[in-house]
Structure 1
């Protein structure tokens, strides 16, 4: 039987809400960060971050290590990010107090950039692992800088609309391919913030 797309989205939303509630009772995420600072595609300018911008790579199958190698070895790329995340790792490429080239000039001067790697279609397990790491990292940054998802967490699509420096719409299309949405991402980040704050009090 073919399930209508809207029904599938509703079922998926219910499933993840249940998972969030269960996780809120004590199943806390915890991921390590590997620092591998790139030597190229770093302007060396100071950044006083006001928030975070979440991107997706639009490079199906390429890992965080692949993107590290590309940005580290290709001086002409003229693009970069502070973090790149895949289904196995989180790599810090540029310090948070230094500008990265992940969007237009105004965005780069204000925000930390996170790139989420994209698995091939149908690789749902890899998507979920990358998604969880992105949720965890975004929540961790919000706690570190006393940010909120309402005021400080943006998609590339969001800053494109605000600053009019590009026409990028990521990570909307990537999330939709795996029956997720930007609103669900923000909801899970908010939940993870609560979980991490609760863990600190124990």
Structure 2
């Protein structure tokens, strides 16, 4: 069954294909990332979308992304033919221009960065509309059917229905996740700003969307709550909080290492101790050289 409008506001155009399985009761739980195994040119999304529309292709994805466009090929209510049975049934699939063999350095060029930015904005929009957490899944979480972001490679590894490895080991996964999370935060701010600027009352739908996005932001910043038997489950710390906490711990370690110490108050840090030792050695060496010079009458 074809469609006439894009599901995502991030999409620039549509190029419907019949290479899919119509499933109006579909409740997607994953955003699945792929690479097209193509160059990263500006027309690649349109070219691959045209290929997906050919019945001979026998394959498809919901979206194709290149440096300057996002093309939707499959209605989100349908299963794309992208990652075998399990992956097809539960995922919304995004094909990015590029190759699984790309290195981290190759993903850092301007074309790749443009693709990452567009794909992240699209992923954030999909996560928002389908209530999918902006997080990568572990293999166990994927096997258990939890919601989140995954890859064709991980689906192949966990369900063993294909041997694909895209988007590859060089894919900048942490940078990409950060872009997705920032896009989600920006969407919440934009929703509020639009209502305020237009002087409109907030509809129930807008309030729900704002609340959902703010909840995601709060979860990212949450320090986590330890569990208590018979009272509450443990809540893990949010990704942003964990990152900040790690940075804070590392800074403290550096401060501790550099502290000069004080008798009865705090222990001398290892770095300061090393510097003190070097200074003592330098003083000893100077004294030795001075003694030698004096003996030789220099």
Normalising by the residue count of structure 1, what TM-score does the alignment of the two structures yield? 0.74
Q: How does 1:155-194 map to 2 (within 5 A)?
A: 155-173=151-169, 176=170, 181-194=172-185
1:152 aligns with 2:148: yes
RMSD value, Cα: 2.3
1:52 corresponds to which of 11, 22, 31: 31
1:131 aligns with 2:116: yes
Deviations 1:112-164 (A, max 9, x none): 10000128969922211111100000011111112112231111122222212
Q: Which has the larger radius of gyration?
A: 2
Give the SS at the match of 2:156. helix
CA distance in 2, matches of 1:66, 1:55: 16
1:42 corresponds to which of 20, 32, 39: 20
Give the SS at the match of 1:149. coil
CA distance in 2, matches of 1:36, 1:61: 19
Unaligned runs of 5+ residues in structure 1 are: 1-29
Deviations 1:69-121 (A, max 9, x none): 11112x12221000000111101101000010010101101011000012896
**8 Å contact kept, 1:52–1:154:** yes
**8 Å contact kept, 1:172–1:182:** no
Say which structure, 1 or 2, has more relative contact order (CA 8 Å, 6+ apart): 1
The verdict on how the C-alpha distance between 1:183 and 1:123 changes in structure 2, with shifts beyond 3 A counting, is closer
1:68 aligns with 2:49: yes
Q: Which moved more, 1:150-159 or 1:50-59?
A: 150-159
**8 Å contact kept, 2:15–2:53:** no
Give the SS at the match of 1:112. strand
Shift of 1:31: 4.3
**Count of residues in correspondence between the two structures:** 166
